[in-house]
Structure 1
Amino acid sequence: MDNGRLRIGTKREERKAFTYSTRFDGTVTVYITVPAIEELSVSGSGQLKTEGDLKAEALSLGVSGSGQLTVPKLTADKLQSTVSGSGEITVAGTCPQHEARISGSGNVRASDLRTEASAIRISGSGDGRLYARRSLEASIAGSGDVYVRGGANVKSKIAGRGRVHQE
C-alpha cells in the first residue's frame, strides 16, 4: 500500500550502476476484493483485465505506455478513460457519463459502454470508439478518428486530419 493505493509490480534487479532491468516471462494472476474502487491503471507494457461485474460511483481508467486495460462489465455513474502512448482501454457496460482522453497513438474502445453523454479529446493519431445516446463532444488535434454509435447529437472541433464517424 502506498498512500491508500495498492501497487502491484515486479522488483527491479540492479545489474550495473544506474542500470535496472525487469524481466518476467509468464502470467501473474492476482485476485483482489475491495469495498470500493476509484481508479485502475497500467503503466508500461502490462495488461489488466477485470472479471465479473465491476461497480463504482466514479471510476478512472488509465494506461500510460503500451499496456492494455480491459473492463468487460462495468456499472458506474461516471467514467474517465485516459490513454497516454500506444496503449488501449476497452470497456463495456453502462455509465451515464464517459470522458475519454487520448494522447499519442493509443485507443479507447467503448462502443459497448452504454452512455447518455460522452466526450473525447484526442491529441495525436489515436482512435476512439464510443457509444452515446444523447450527446457526444469530440475534440481532435491530429489524425485520430472517433467512431460513435447510439445516435447522439455530435459537436466536434477538429484541427488536423481527424474525423468523427457516426455508425
Structure 2
Amino acid sequence: MKQIKWLLFSLAMTLTASSCFINVNDEDGFFGSCVDGSGPIVTRELIVAPFDGVELPISADVFLKQGPDQEVIVEGKDNIIDEIELDVHNGIWRIEFNRCVRDIGQLRLFITVPDLAHLRISGSGDVVSENTFVIQDLTIDIPGSGNVDLALDADDLDIDIPGSGRLTLEGTADDTKYRISGSGDVHAFNLECRTSDISIPGSGDVEVFVNEYLKVRISGSGDVYFRGDPTLDISITGSGDVIDAN
C-alpha cells in the first residue's frame, strides 16, 4: 500500500512539474492565441527566397507555372496571409503557418518558378500546373489526401503515394518510378514514358503509358493498367493484377 501511495505521489509531482513547461507560444491554441481568419479576400505578393521544391502540409490550393522569374501571389484573408511561413530550407519552401490559425477560408497560391525538383503534399490541399514543366528530375510524395495534376516534359520521375491523394499526369517522361503504399491512385495514361518501375504494397491503382519496359511488383491489392507495347517484368504476390488497357 505504501508503494502504491508513493507511486501516485510521484506521478502527481511529475505531472505538476511538467505543467511548468507548457509552451507559452501556444501553437495548439490552448491559451486562445490562435488567429481567426477575418475580413475580405485580398491578393498579395510574397517575397520568398529562391526555391525549386514545394511542400504543402496545410489546406490550401497551389497553382504552379514554369517561368523565367520566381513569383508568389496569394489570395486569402489578409491576417491569414500574414501568418504564412516564408523561410526556405535547402531549396524547399514548406508552405505552413507561423502559429495556430482557424477559419482559414479560401487560400490560393499562384507560384511561378524556373524549375521544380520536389513536391510533397501531406495535407488536403490540391496542386495543379498551369503550363507544362520542362524539367530533369522530379520527386513527388503524397502522404496526405490532396490531389496533384501536372503537365510534364521530364527525364526521371520518382513518385511515392503512402496517402489517399490522387495523382494525374500528362506529357512525356523518360524513366518513371511509382510506389503506392496507400490508397491513392495514379492516372498517367496521358504521360508517355520509356520505362516504368511500379511497386504496389497498398491498394491504389496505377494507369501508365509505357513504350519499352514495364516492371511491376504487386504485394497489395492495387491494379496496374498499361498502354503501349513494353517488355513486361511482372511479379504478383498480392491480390492485385496487371491489365492490358490497349
Per the normalisation by structure 2, the TM-score is 0.61
**Higher strand content, 1 or 2:** 1
Give CA-to-partner distance per residue, 1:12-37, whole Å, 9 cap, x none: 42xxxxxxx754332x3322222222
Give CA-to-partner distance per residue, 1:54-86, whole Å, 9 cap, x none: 111111112112111110x20011111111121
Distance (whole Å) between structure 2 residues aligned to residue 148 and residue 12 of structure 1: 45
Asked whether 1:118 is paired with 2:205, we answer no
Higher Rg: 2
| 1:23–1:42 Cα change, 3 Å | farther
SS at match of 1:31: strand
**Higher helix content, 1 or 2:** 2
Per the normalisation by structure 1, the TM-score is 0.88
- The aligned residue for residue 235 of structure 2 is 157
Give CA-to-partner distance per residue, 1:78-124, whole Å, 9 cap, x none: 11111112111111100111111111211111111000111110112
Asked whether 1:136 is paired with 2:214, we answer yes
- The aligned residue for residue 161 of structure 2 is 83
Q: Percent identity?
A: 37
Distance (whole Å) between structure 1 residues aligned to residue 175 and residue 234 of structure 2: 17
Asked whether 1:3 is paired with 2:99, we answer no
Asked whether 1:109 is paired with 2:196, we answer no
What are the ranges of 5 or more consecutive residues in structure 1 without an aligned counterpart?
Answer: 14-20
Alignment coverage as a number of residue pairs:
158
List, as ranges, runs of 4+ consecutive aligned residues in structure 1 with deviation greater than 4 Å: none
Q: Considering only aligned residues, what root-mean-square deviation do their CA atoms show, in Å? A: 1.5
What are the ranges of 5 or more consecutive residues in structure 2 without an aligned counterpart?
Answer: 1-87
Structure 1, 28-37 or 43-52: larger mean CA deviation? 28-37
- The aligned residue for residue 16 of structure 1 is none
Asked whether 1:52 is paired with 2:109, we answer no
SS at match of 1:133: strand
